[in-house]
């Protein structure tokens, strides 16, 4: 039996797909590339915007076209939030939301054997447990992802994710450390810690802990040379976390801190508990403490009521913040959220134009950031080997998330080396 996966959306989804692949392998399936014919296709979906749902549906159709006889199982946030809509698609055979997924291979086997198997996407209760999909080695063993936290209780007015992911919960500390040790032993040099509201890791554990303490333990794990944090909310960046990052060079000098808007009134309407001035002073503090730091962000355009002046304010603030990279989102009404019911929805044309402007600004800021490092020596963890003009090119990331290519022997994949940055995206290995 061959199973193929396609994953949409965030790093948490990516982690969960890898873990599910491991589970399918242990159940006797062969995991093949999504472009190959398979007996089972698993689509791990995203529901954060209308566009993400549309892409999810496109992939579902593509899977069925590749092998009309295949079983198509749909999981993830779209499946969790809209199980009826998903199961009504002709191409879909099985729907399982974001809980209880370790039983997925078993459900698939029973379905293939002709048993009547029911879709599963029950709404979350307050007592939901952390879905521990055990970490498994994946791909080239260079950079590992680990989900240590799930769920959210923030309820930003635009966001459907609390419904898709359930209440706030953390992977127990002992378990998290075990996975980290396994990651270190398996030859990975870098681990990316992920979660839905990662900054609140540990608050629900008994005894409670926090991300800063966990990070301190993570950098001490044998074999791990880098620990990267995924998204951290601006209000979660306390002095303790900053101190741990500052004192530990192994923590990557890249932080993703979602701004969403640079206009105070819009931030208030979004239910985000900070204003632009707070965000600006946080950036100043972080950059003062962490030289060469890259800060990327999520920015939304066209939130209900966003006037031209408010957009302009947001745009100018984003420029001032000199982010290393932007993820631009057009506001998309998610049914059941507060913002979806707000008057003054912004027209699609206006959203589109603001989005284009913001994306262009993002490109400019990204280039500016990259240019700052030309002529500098940085360390790169090589993850990919690509064909070059003469010999091969290695591609990897610096601690501050610059993606660079350098000529060098393929055997350096999985290794960290010092490079000299020659131009944007290009480097040569010096040590
Ligand atoms: N519309 C547009 N973007 C959204 N995001 C979350 N909800 C919505 C929505 N309804 C964006 C936010 C968040 C990112 C993961 O997705 O910017 O940080």
Query: Taking the CA of residue 136 as centre, how many other CA atoms within 13 Å lie in the half-sphere pointing to its CB?
Result: 18
Is it true that domain 143-371 has CATH number 3.80.30.20?
yes
Confidence (pLDDT) at 93: 97
Confidence (pLDDT) at 336: 95
Helix ranges, 148-275 (H): 161-165, 173-185, 211-219, 239-247, 264-270
CA of 329 to the centre of ligand 1 (A): 6
Confidence (pLDDT) at 389: 85
Across 295-303, average pLDDT: 98
Confidence (pLDDT) at 351: 98
CA of 239 to the centre of ligand 1 (A): 27
Gyration radius (Cα) of the chain, Å: 22
Identify the residue whose C-alpha is closest to ligand 1 atom 11: 329
Query: Which CATH code of 3.40.50.970, 3.40.50.300, 2.60.40.1120, 3.40.50.12160 fits the domain covering 2-112?
Result: 3.40.50.12160
Question: Measured from the CA of 327, which atom of ligand 1 is nearest?
Answer: 17
Helix ranges, 322-400 (H): 348-371
Q: Determine the residue of 300, 323, 345, 351 to mutate for testing ligand 1's pocket, defined as the one with the most ligand atoms within 8 A of the Cβ atom.
A: 300
Identify the residue whose C-alpha is closest to ligand 1 atom 13: 298
CA of 161 to the centre of ligand 1 (A): 9
Distance CA 13, CA 16 (A): 5
Across 320-339, average pLDDT: 98
CA dihedral 69, 75, 77, 78 (to 10 degrees): 20
Question: Measured from the CA of 332, which atom of ligand 1 is nearest?
Answer: 1
363 by Cβ neighbours in 10 Å (0-12 / 13-18 / 19+) ranks as: exposed
Distance CA 215, CA 144 (A): 15
pLDDT over 90 (residue 118): no
Indicate the angle between helix axes 308-321 and 348-371, nearest 10 degrees: 10
Across 114-138, average pLDDT: 92
CA of 269 to the centre of ligand 1 (A): 14
Question: Measured from the CA of 300, which atom of ligand 1 is nearest?
Answer: 17
| pLDDT 10s digits, 359-390 | 999 999 999 999 999 999 999 999 999 998 88
CA of 263 to the centre of ligand 1 (A): 16
Confidence (pLDDT) at 140: 81
Query: pTM, whole model, 2 decimals?
Result: 0.97
Beta-strand ranges (E) seen in 37-177 are 40-45, 71-76, 94-96, 143-147, 149-150, 169-170
CA of 300 to the centre of ligand 1 (A): 7
Distance CA 421, CA 379 (A): 10
* b/e map 215-251, b = 16+ CB within 10 Å: bbebbebeebbbbbbbbbbbebbeeebbebbeeeebb
Distance CA 179, CA 188 (A): 12
Across 397-408, average pLDDT: 97
- The three-state secondary structure class of 15 is helix
CA of 159 to the centre of ligand 1 (A): 6
Across 109-125, average pLDDT: 93
Pocket of ligand 1 (CB under 6 A): 48-49, 158-159, 258, 260, 298, 300, 329, 331-332, 334
Identify the residue whose C-alpha is closest to ligand 1 atom 2: 331
Cα–Cα distances (Å) from 177 to 171, 266, 345, in that order, read: 10, 40, 46
CA of 17 to the centre of ligand 1 (A): 21
CA of 328 to the centre of ligand 1 (A): 9
Confidence (pLDDT) at 138: 85
CA of 387 to the centre of ligand 1 (A): 37
Confidence (pLDDT) at 390: 86
Beta-strand ranges (E) seen in 26-116 are 30-32, 40-45, 71-76, 94-96
Cβ atoms of 288 and 327 closer than 8 Å: no
What are the tokens at 29?
């399936």
Average pLDDT across the chain, whole number: 97
Confidence (pLDDT) at 187: 94
Local confidence band at 41 (pLDDT 50, 70, 90 cut-offs): very high
Alpha carbon 343 to its chain centroid, in Å, reads 31
Question: Measured from the CA of 339, which atom of ligand 1 is nearest?
Answer: 10
Identify the residue whose C-alpha is closest to ligand 1 atom 18: 298
Q: Determine the residue of 9, 158, 230 to mutate for testing ligand 1's pocket, defined as the one with the most ligand atoms within 8 A of the Cβ atom.
A: 158
Q: Name the least confident of 114-123, 189-198, 224-233.
A: 114-123
Q: Tokens 């947001």 identify what position?
A: 314
């Amino acid at each position: 039996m061959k199973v193929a996966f396609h994953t949409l959306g965030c790093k948490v989804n990516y982690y969960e797909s890898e873990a599910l692949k491991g589970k399918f392998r242990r159940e006797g399936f062969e995991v093949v590339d999504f472009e190959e014919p398979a007996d089972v296709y698993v689509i791990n979906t995203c529901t954060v915007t209308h566009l993400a749902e549309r892409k999810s549906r496109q992939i579902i159709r593509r899977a069925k076209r590749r092998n009309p006889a295949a079983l198509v199982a749909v999981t993830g946030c779209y499946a969790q939030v809209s199980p009826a809509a998903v199961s009504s698609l002709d191409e879909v055979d099985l729907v399982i939301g974001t809980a209880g997924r370790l039983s997925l291979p078993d459900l698939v086997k029973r379905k293939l054997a002709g048993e009547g198997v029911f879709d599963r996407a029950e709404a979350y209760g307050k007592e939901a447990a952390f879905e521990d999909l055990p970490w498994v080695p994946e791909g080239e063993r260079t950079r590992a992802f680990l989900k240590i936290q799930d769920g959210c209780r923030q309820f930003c007015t635009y966001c459907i994710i609390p419904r898709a992911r359930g209440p706030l919960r953390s992977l127990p500390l002992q378990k998290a450390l075990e996975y980290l040790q396994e990651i270190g032993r398996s030859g990975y040099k870098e681990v990316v810690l992920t979660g839905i509201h990662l900054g609140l890791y540990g608050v629900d554990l008994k005894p409670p802990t926090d991300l800063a303490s966990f990070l301190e333990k993570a950098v001490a794990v044998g074999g791990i040379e880098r620990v990267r944090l995924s998204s951290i909310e601006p209000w979660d960046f306390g002095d303790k976390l900053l101190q741990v990052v500052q004192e530990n060079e192994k923590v990557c000098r890249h932080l993703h801190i979602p701004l969403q808007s640079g206009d105070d009134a819009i931030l208030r309407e979004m239910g985000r508990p900070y204003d632009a001035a707070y965000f600006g002073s946080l950036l100043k503090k972080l950059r003062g403490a962490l030289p060469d730091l890259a800060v990327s962000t999520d920015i939304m355009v066209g939130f209900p009521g966003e006037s031209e002046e408010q957009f302009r304010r947001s745009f100018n603030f984003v420029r001032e913040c000199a982010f290393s990279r932007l993820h631009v989102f057009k506001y998309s009404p998610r049914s059941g959220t507060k913002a979806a019911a707000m008057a003054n929805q912004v027209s699609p044309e206006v959203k589109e134009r603001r989005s284009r402007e913001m994306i262009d600004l993002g490109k400019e800021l990204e280039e500016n950031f990259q240019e700052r490092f030309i002529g500098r020596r940085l360390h790169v963890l090589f993850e990919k080997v690509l064909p070059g003009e003469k010999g091969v090119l290695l591609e990897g990331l610096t601690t501050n998330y610059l993606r660079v290519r350098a000529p060098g022997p393929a055997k350096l994949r999985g290794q960290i080396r010092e490079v000299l940055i020659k131009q944007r995206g290009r480097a040569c290995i010096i040590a």
